[in-house]
Structure 1
Amino acid sequence: MLSDVMEDYLKAIYYLERDEGAPIGTSRLAEYLDVTAPTVTSMVDSLEERGLVDREKYKGVELTADGETVAVEVVRHHRLLEAYLTEHLDYDWSEVHDEADALEHHISEEFERRVANALGDPEVDPHGDPIPSPDLTPPDEGTGTRLDEHGENERLKVERVSDRDADELAYLQDAGVVPGTVLEITDVAPFGMVTVDVDGDEQSLPESVARSIRVSVATDSDESVVEEA
């Protein structure tokens, strides 16, 4: 049996590997989890003993096949729970991350199956993140490019939004910047502010927020769907 903390470490390594590439330095992992480097070193020792991570001196750690399977299962639980909390328990999308973090370690396979059935086996969670399949095949986490990588006059469709900061999510919801939204970049300020037009309303997004939004190039069909809605 793995502890909740062990599963949290595996999930963190999984996210970082897909966002930044493996191996993951212990200092980066410590920063991501907001813990000390010695704490990370001790936990990595335990995970390595269980065959869940491989560690290369001076380079960092990466998940083994077994470690990835555990991480993907936790991610599946987390994202299913976020979807269930928003769709069936009227949680705001800015509130579900912490709740899902607390619950993801403690649900049974039967509970997971029933939640998935109740939701109609969704492919993505409320923030646009892909939900792993029941066979725990790792999903494609690379959907879209970051909003801050684009320039003025580009029309884009929001694909995913990071769920880690509740204040950012509340801000984006008020701004109408959610998965499925079509927007146009109207200004990129030298100091990092990105201004976007969302259905006629301009919204200014700090660069740190724009970095957390994944987008794709909007097509005519995307635009027509938004207009019809």
Structure 2
Amino acid sequence: MPSAAIDDYLKTIYHHTEWQSAHITPSQLATELGLAPSSVTEMVRKLAAQGLVSHRKYGPISLTAAGAQRAAAIIRRHRLIETWLVREFGYAWDEVHDEAEVLEHSISDRLLEGIDARLGRPRFDPHGDAIPDAEGAVERVPFVLLAHAAAGHVGRVLRVSDRDPELLRAVDAAGVAVGVEMAVTDAAAVTVAGVEAVLPPGADTAIWLTA
């Protein structure tokens, strides 16, 4: 199997449980990857045979220790490259994902180490996602999805999903950035850095705050 295809599966499975606890199902994996369920079923079977995932028929999919290590390694590459593009080349946070998808499979380990050192070994990418270290360990703090935050909750923005570039641009225009303080005033209103803000539709399921 092509290495890039394996990495894409492992990344998607890994990413699914970063910000919630439920394991991914085959149908969810097929949707995330934009592939036919039959293709995903066959690939998952092959990944299980290689000891990279654990899966029972009709059940959810989880990474084995070996699969998690490999997934963390490729995610480390992706997120370091995104951070590098933003800091060194002036990319906006909505522009880096596709570039990183290409570069993560082509740069050498030596260059990746050089990028990490030059950037001061960052722990988080521009969207707030944790960058695994060379051993695969990550740093996380307790979090809550904005959609689940009660009125009166005040927290620092930990992460904004990079799934939708248009939404990233819209929340940026509303003053939202990783690290700023957000207060939930009621079910439909928030303040960002003390200023009332109007968030675009879908933002409440794309922003995570400190719990």
Q: Common fold, TM-score beyond 0.5? A: yes
1:204 is aligned to 198
| CA deviation vs aligned residue, 1:47-95 (integer Å, no higher than 9, x gap) | 1222211211121221111111110001100110010000001100110
Structure 1 residue 212: Cα displacement: 1.4
CA distance in 2, matches of 1:75, 1:195: 34
Distance in 1 (CA, whole Å) between partners of 2:19 and 2:124 is 18
| 1:168 aligned residue | 167
Structure 1 Cα separation of the partners of residues 27 and 161 of structure 2: 22
Whole-angstrom distance in 2 between the partners of 1:95 and 1:143: 28
The equivalent of 2:117 in structure 1 is 117
**Counterparts of 2:179 and 2:22, CA distance in 1:** 30
For 2:210 and 2:194, the matched residues in 1 are separated by: 20
CA spacing shift, 1:111–1:204, aligned 2, 3 Å: same
Q: Unpaired runs of 5+ in structure 2? A: none
Instruction: Answer whether contact 1:148 1:207 (CA < 8 A) is retained.
Output: no
Match of 1:45 in 2: 45
- The AA in structure 2 aligned to 1:161 is V
| Identical-residue share of aligned pairs (%) | 38
Counterparts of 1:19-168 in structure 2, within 5 Å, are 19-21=19-21, 23-137=23-137, 139-141=138-140, 143-168=142-167
Q: Is the 8 A contact 1:17 1:62 kept in 2?
A: no
Shift of 1:187: 3.1
Aligned to 1:221: none
Number of equivalenced pairs: 211
Residue identity opposite 2:145 in structure 1:
R
The answer to whether 1:178 aligns with 2:172 is no
- Higher alpha-carbon deviation: 4-13 or 207-216: 207-216
Structure 1 distance, partners of 2:100, 2:149, is 32
Counterparts of 1:160 and 1:70, CA distance in 2 = 23
For the residues of structure 2 that align with 1:177 and 1:135, how far apart are their CA atoms?
Answer: 32
Q: Is the 8 A contact 1:80 1:115 kept in 2?
A: yes
Q: 2:143 and 2:194 mapped to 1: Cα distance? A: 23
**1-structure distance, mates of 2:201, 2:90:** 30
Alignment correspondent of 1:224: none
Deviation at 1:169, TM superposition (A): 0.8
- 2: CA distance, partners of 1:89 / 1:35: 33
Structure 2-normalised TM-score? 0.91
Aligned CA distance change for structure 1 residues 65 and 199 (closer, same or farther; 3 Å): closer
Partner-residue secondary structure (3-state), 2:202 = helix
**How does the TM-score come out when normalised to structure 1?**
0.84
- Mark the structure with the bigger radius of gyration: 1
Shift of 1:206: 4.8
Structure 1 residues 141 and 4 mapped into 2: Cα distance closer, same or farther (>3 Å)? farther
Q: Distance in 2 between matches of 1:199 and 1:16?
A: 29
Q: Which amino acid aligns with 1:157?
A: R
Amino acid at match of 2:38: P
CA distance in 2, matches of 1:57, 1:12: 19
Distance 1:61 1:201, change over 3 A: same
RMSD (Å), alpha carbons = 1.9
Letter in 2 for 1:84: W
1:18 to 1:130, Cα distance in 2 relative to 1, 3 A: closer
Q: 1:151 to 1:141 in 2, by over 3 A?
A: same
Q: Look up the equivalent residue of 2:71 and give its one-letter code.
A: A
| Distance change in 2, residues 1:103/1:45 (3 Å) | same
Unmatched tracts of structure 1, length 5 or more: 189-193, 218-229
